[in-house]
Amino acid sequence: MKNFITEDILNCLDRAAANLYFPGFDNMNYDMVTARLTGFRNDANWALTIEEIVSWYGLNGVEPVLVISAFGSRVLINEPFATYFPVKYSLGELERSKEEDYQDMSVAGIICDEGFDVWEDSEQEIPDYLLVVIRGKKIIVHSREIPRHLQIKDNFNFDLTIHIANKYRTQILATETELREIVPEELTQIIQLDNWHHPDVYNPNSEFYIPSKTKSMQMIAEVLVSGNPELYQPCEENNVDWRKWIVK
């Protein structure tokens, strides 16, 4: 016998939104680049996580942050979300043939051996290539390969985060170990979505302002109650795309 019904789940999400705990992709503190939703359950309890890879300069400078919000009847964290830092930018081990290359990269706003500070595109030169460390694996990224979005947001750091997230998304999102620091092992993963219709929780004028009013959240709740992932069928416009939320 199940200990929860769909209304329990939707009411929990609505309360979180009312308390500003439910993630809004147009958060004023950071810029969302990509996201993932995962649902867990057994007959006694349920949990829902929403991962966001974000550019959050106030928290972590120019390096991306993995934010995991969690809701449910059984979660292991006491705060609305947990943060992880799977990506580091570093210069310390880049081999250079020319001393001026080091000088150029320092001018670009990088602090050698300590990671990056920030680039001011209009005043400082962007380095030709960067050393990015993703979960301990070193990757050289050539700046010329990074698509710019100057008409949307003139910020090289944000463009770099988008490029890394697009190319190494799976490696940056939560590992099973990280998810299980938030959701206990006895809950089985039942659904995982890379795109869905996310509630517009910071816009009271939107018809999707309240999570329970969105068909996507209603179906996800039904999946968590029933244990049948086929009950989720997209019927609203998917909107897990940073371009839809970047203007605030």
138 against 105, higher pLDDT: 138
Same domain, 41 and 80: yes
* Cα–Cα dist 33/241, whole Å: 7
Q: Which of 6-10, 90-94, 202-206 has the lowest mean pLDDT?
A: 90-94
Nearest CA among 218, 216, 212, 221 for reference residue 234: 216
Any domain includes 165: no
Residue 235 dihedral angles phi and psi, to the nearest 5°:
-135, -5
- Residue 35: pLDDT over 70: yes
The fraction of the chain above a pLDDT of 70, given in percent, is 86
Any domain includes 161: no
Same domain, 10 and 75: yes
Any domain includes 157: no
pLDDT band of 127, cuts 50, 70, 90? confident
**pLDDT tens column, 61-93:** 999 999 999 999 999 999 999 999 999 997 544
Any domain includes 113: yes
Same domain, 109 and 214: no
Predicted pLDDT of residue 124: 55
**pLDDT tens column, 9-18:** 999 999 999 9
- The tally of domains found in the chain comes to 2
Any domain includes 168: no
Same domain, 27 and 142: no
Q: How many CA atoms lie within 13 A of 117 on its CB side?
A: 12
Report, as an integer, the average pLDDT of 146-175. 92
List 31's β-bridge partners, or say none: 55
Same domain, 20 and 130: no
Same domain, 13 and 75: yes
Same domain, 55 and 113: no
Any domain includes 145: yes
Report, as an integer, the average pLDDT of 158-172. 96
- Residue 98: pLDDT over 80: no
Predicted pLDDT of residue 135: 97
Any domain includes 35: yes
Predicted pLDDT of residue 113: 37
The fraction of the chain above a pLDDT of 90, given in percent, is 75
- Residue 119: pLDDT over 60: no
Same domain, 93 and 109: yes
236 against 49, higher pLDDT: 49
Same domain, 80 and 105: no
Contact by Cβ (8 Å): 132, 87: yes
Any domain includes 189: yes
Predicted pLDDT of residue 12: 98
Same domain, 125 and 12: no
Same domain, 80 and 108: no
Predicted pLDDT of residue 1: 65
- What range defines the domain where residue 49 resides? 6-85+175-244
**pLDDT tens column, 210-229:** 999 999 999 999 999 999 99
CA 139 to chain centre: 21
Same domain, 60 and 43: yes
